[in-house]
């Protein structure tokens, strides 16, 4: 700095000498004094302009002061803005949903990261939570259960789920169409803060007339299976060693008993006497499986595929789901196939005895 000042003063001295050459001989005259004053004023103006430009040049080279980016993550938006302004930083706000409703209005992220050294006036991007996609329970009464399932899955695809349907759903007979939601818990408008189970009561449809169960006792098990499937009565067989007076391979007991009035879809339990072993490749077995419970009866098909690849349908029926236990006589190494709506659910190989 001293070097520049010495250079400047040397230039001024040189200028004064140069000006004195052109000054009138008698500098004490009025005209001489005016001319001298005018020249000195001009030189002073030039000097001030030079010094101002010189100072501005060095200030520009120096630039804005350095400052440290504060950590504003987790703070309320207003508090974060104040802290950034105190550091002479320019905030740029973006908003998005978050999985936690409690973060609404708070800073989720920032760029540059906390502790970064930047110049004053630097732009700082902050992301602020708009809250959860869903922050309270909607009213689902009157809507279709399947539609609500899809809606909730879509809603929480990208975020932590806050609401899920509690299984199993309770079904009751009601004049409204099957699948219509009748009741819900929590009630609409309930605030959500964490994962909550949505308990639903759903319509089965109008109540059907009860049926009177026939007697299957004393019937060969294969004939009983055929009659049960034809009547769309779901069944579960169990096998017991025959007692005195009981015939092997025949039904010896049923529950509910014959003559009982039951709702359509009521499962019938049957006990059969263990059949006698057969000669050849045919073996006896019990196919057991548990289906999910369906709100309405589905199309069930039970088939067998022989070792040679020949496929044959054993029976079809309407079925509400739940446990199955089907007795069979089939060839060793054949395959039993259970299907719902023509879609295979499970295959079971017939083992050797």
pLDDT one-digit tens code per residue, 222-234? 999 999 999 999 9
Q: Could you tell me the two tokens for 158? A: 């990208």
Its pTM stands at: 0.50
The reply to whether 171 and 233 lie within a common domain is no
Same domain, 123 and 153: no
Q: N- to C-terminal Cα distance for the chain?
A: 107
Residue 14: per-residue pLDDT: 58
- The answer to whether residue 137 sits within a structural domain is no
Q: For residue 184, what are the domain limits?
A: 145-205
- Number of domains into which the chain is organized: 4
- Give the residue from 187, 205, 223 where a domain finishes: 205
Contact at 8 Å (CB) between 240 and 271? yes
pLDDT at 25: 47
What's residue 312's pLDDT? 96
**Are residues 187 and 238 located together in one domain of the fold?**
no
DSSP strand pairing (343-349 vs 117-119): unpaired
Closest CA to 234 of 129, 314, 114, 322: 322
Residue 52 has pLDDT above 60, yes or no: yes
The mean-pLDDT minimum among 130-139, 148-157, 204-213 falls in 130-139
- Dist CA 124 CA 117 (whole Å): 12
Both 289 and 184 in a single domain? no
Question: Does 336 lie in the same domain as 287?
Answer: yes
If residue 239 lies in a helix (H) or strand (E), which one and from where to where? Answer: strand 235-240
For the segment 210-219, what is each residue's pLDDT rounded down to a tens digit? 889 999 999 9
Helix, coil or strand: residue 240: strand
In this structure, are residues 166 and 199 in contact, taking their beta carbons and an 8 Å threshold? yes
Distance CA 293, CA 209 (A): 21
Task: Mean pLDDT check: name the lowest of 2-11, 42-51, 147-156, 240-249.
Answer: 2-11
């Amino acid at each position: 700095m001293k070097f520049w000042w010495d250079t400047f003063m040397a230039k001024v001295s040189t200028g004064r000498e140069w000006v004195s050459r052109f000054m009138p001989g008698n500098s004490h005259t009025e005209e001489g004094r005016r001319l001298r004053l005018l020249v000195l004023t001009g030189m002073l103006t030039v000097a001030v302009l030079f010094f101002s430009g010189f100072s501005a040049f060095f200030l520009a080279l120096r630039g804005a002061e350095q400052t440290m980016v504060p950590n504003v993550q987790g703070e309320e938006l207003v508090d974060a803005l104040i802290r950034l302004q105190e550091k002479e930083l320019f905030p740029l706000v973006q908003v998005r949903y978050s999985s936690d409703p409690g973060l609404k209005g708070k800073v989720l992220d920032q760029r540059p990261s906390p502790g970064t050294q930047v110049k004053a006036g630097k732009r700082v991007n902050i992301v602020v939570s708009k809250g959860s996609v869903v922050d309270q329970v909607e009213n689902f009464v009157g809507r279709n259960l399947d539609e609500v399932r899809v809606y909730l899955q879509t809603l929480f695809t990208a975020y932590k789920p806050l609401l899920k349907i509690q299984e199993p759903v309770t079904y009751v007979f009601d004049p409204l169409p099957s699948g219509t939601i009748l009741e819900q818990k929590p009630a609409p408008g309930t605030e959500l803060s964490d994962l909550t189970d949505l308990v639903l009561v759903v319509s089965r449809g109008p109540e059907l007339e009860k049926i009177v169960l026939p007697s299957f006792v004393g019937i060969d098990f294969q004939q009983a299976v055929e009659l049960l499937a034809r009547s769309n009565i779901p069944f579960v067989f169990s096998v017991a060693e025959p007692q005195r007076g009981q015939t092997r391979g025949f039904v010896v007991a049923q529950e509910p008993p014959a003559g009982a009035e039951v709702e359509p879809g009521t499962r019938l339990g049957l006990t059969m006497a263990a059949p006698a072993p057969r000669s050849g490749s045919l073996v006896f077995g019990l196919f057991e499986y548990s289906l999910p419970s369906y709100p309405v009866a589905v199309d069930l098909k039970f088939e067998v595929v022989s070792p040679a690849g020949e496929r044959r349908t054993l029976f079809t029926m309407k079925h509400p789901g739940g446990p199955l236990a089907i007795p069979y006589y089939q060839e060793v190494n054949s395959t039993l196939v259970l299907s719902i709506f023509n879609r295979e659910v499970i295959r079971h190989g017939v083992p050797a005895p």
